[in-house]
Amino acid sequence: MTTATHHDLLVLGSGSGNSLVTPEMAGWSVGIVEEGIFGGTCLNVGCIPTKMFVLPADRVAEAHEAARIDVTVEGARADWAAARDRIFGRIDPISEAGAAYRRDGEGTTLHQGRGRFVGPREVEVTAADGSTTRVTADRVVIATGSRPWVPEPFARALADGLPVHTSDTVMRIGAAPRRALVVGGGYIATEMAHVLSGFGASITLVVRGPQLLRDLDPSIGIPFDAIATDRWDVRHGTTVDSLERIAGSDAVRAHLSDGTTVEIDLVLVATGRVPNSDDLGLERAGVDTHPDGRIVVDAHGRTGTDGVWSLGDVSSPFQLKHVANAEARVVAHNLVHPDDLRSFPHDVVPAAVFGHPQIATVGDTVAQARERILADGGGVDDVLAHTQAFGSTAYGWALEDTESLCTVVADRRSGLLLGAHLMGPQASTLIQPLVQAMSFGLRAADVARGQYWIHPALTEVVENALLGLED
């Protein structure tokens, strides 16, 4: 049976798209289409639960490192089942409450099912029971996010019932594995390797390239890779050829391209993510995509079809929740104020990797800054860069820190920061004054000398890095 309905606004996806509904839309009829768990990736399988698992893993790692400050901690361990139940005991009710609010709230309708375009601003939603609803709308926003990419041989192994997981499923397992194979060299692979090892798993990390997190500035990328290689069995320049179940057990044998095999209890595939755009019927809506599957939008979030917009991972070049939220605020304004369009704020976008050590980065690497300044008519000497060790500050002494680093990059001609790259405790917090300086066009010298930096707080590493540019 097919029913029909019309909305002023239809949103495909309940992640950042859910926040599009603002008080300025009072009186509008709003429909939200969601096939999966309400709340999207970040709430259910991404940023929030992963960081809730990261914290106990951090505590275990810190316990093992405590001897360097004359503290003995014996038997530190993290309880996976207890952590899992605590984490999802908090998250699942939030997801359910969000769905109930949109389903029962005034002015909103939750269409649960798979939405596909059948024409411009016309979507057919197929529910789990096979019933369909034809929904037309004056405005449609596509915010369907992205999903893990599972290449061969992992897709075949997954279909065969082997214990192959992605970040979408691994956090719901019953117990931490004793041995885990993590495939990938990006932020999900490194974060989840830290989580699984913190809960007791021995880690084999298979990386196709020569370095983990290869896009990082070398000042922190190279030492991070060295730290990870010392901590885990990292196989650079390696891929997985095949997987097989070991007879008489639930374990798996992985055959690697370096000619070796490893026996593991769980495989985590973290080889990238793809936009959820391939099964939306976009061709029937006249909506174009990039070669990588991302929906083509302009600076304001508009697709090439009148009244159809997009935001977040399905269209954005940044797979970051804070970017998706910012894009949602822009699109929400533009929907209500079509004559006063705002643009996506993509100029200064920070990111963090919540591994151990933690990493945060914003703006240009040194190499990118040189390329930018040379293209602008400057010279190589116009790029200023300085790397400051956390251990050179008073709080770093207290930590007995010998690994953590802060690199800042600036333009000598203007004195403006072009980039910042940190590796160490609370890097994602320490980078914020540098993000602020870049966002508001503050000169590095003014940021360093124009305010107090509390002594002996760890923030002094940022101050000293900025002062180091003057040398």
Number of alpha carbons in the 13 Å side-chain half-sphere of residue 448? 18
The 3 state secondary structure assigned to 149-182 is CCCCCHHHHHHCCCCEECCCCHHHCCCCCCEEEE
- Residue whose token pair is 């540019």: 469
d(CA 194, CA 354): 9
User: Exposed, middle or buried, 2 (CB in 10 Å: 0-12/13-18/19+)?
Assistant: exposed
The rounded Cα 337 to chain-centroid distance in angstroms is 30
3-class secondary structure, 302: strand
d(CA 251, CA 226): 29
Residue type present at position 318? F
Q: Check 64, 290, 346, 455 and give the catalytic one.
A: 455
d(CA 410, CA 441): 12
Residues 50/43, Cβ–Cβ less than 8 Å:
no
DSSP state of 144: -
Closest CA to 200 of 320, 65, 20, 80: 80
Report the interhelical angle of 187-198 vs 47-65 (nearest 10°): 50
Backbone φ and ψ of 198, nearest 5°? -65, -25
d(CA 235, CA 257): 10
Residues 363/216, Cβ–Cβ less than 8 Å:
no
Catalytic residue list contains 333: no
Residues 335/7, Cβ–Cβ less than 8 Å:
no
Exposed e or buried b per residue across 316-335, where buried means at least 16 C-beta atoms within 10 angstroms of its C-beta:
bebbbbebbbbbbbbbbbbb
Residues 313/145, Cβ–Cβ less than 8 Å:
yes
Residues 266/177, Cβ–Cβ less than 8 Å:
yes
3-class secondary structure, 258: coil
- Residue whose token pair is 């929907």: 335
Which residues touch 429 (CB under 8 Å, ≥6 apart)?
none
d(CA 437, CA 465): 14
Q: Which residues are catalytic?
A: 455
